[in-house]
Amino acid sequence: MKEATFKIDNMICLGCSEKITDILKEVDGVQVVKAKAMKKLVKVGFNPEKTDEETLVSILTKAGYKPLK
């Protein structure tokens, strides 16, 4: 399992963190999602054989968030 951490400045509430968690858990290969609105961080554990960081960034961007590595 590989881990990526993204800073998401426009994740401002619990609802945002829940939405991000739900979106990322739908991605094939994503195993763990920990989104913390107060810290504006999301940590994602994923299988690198099934997905990659670029895909995760793309999905978050399409959902209206601005992930930074």
Domains of the chain in sequence order: 2-68 (3.30.70.100)
Q: How many angstroms separate the CA atoms of 10 and 2, rounded?
A: 25
The rounded distance, in Å, linking the Cα atoms of 34 and 17 is 8
The DSSP 8-state label assigned to residue 1 in this structure reads: -
Q: What is the pTM of this model?
A: 0.90
Q: What is residue 63's DSSP assignment?
A: T
Residues 1-57 have pLDDT tens digits of: 999 999 999 999 999 999 999 999 999 999 999 999 999 999 999 999 999 999 999
Rounded CA separation 32/10 (Å):
21
Is the CB of residue 6 less than 8 Å from the CB of residue 68? yes
Q: Residue 22: which residues within 8 A CB-CB, separation 6 or more?
A: none
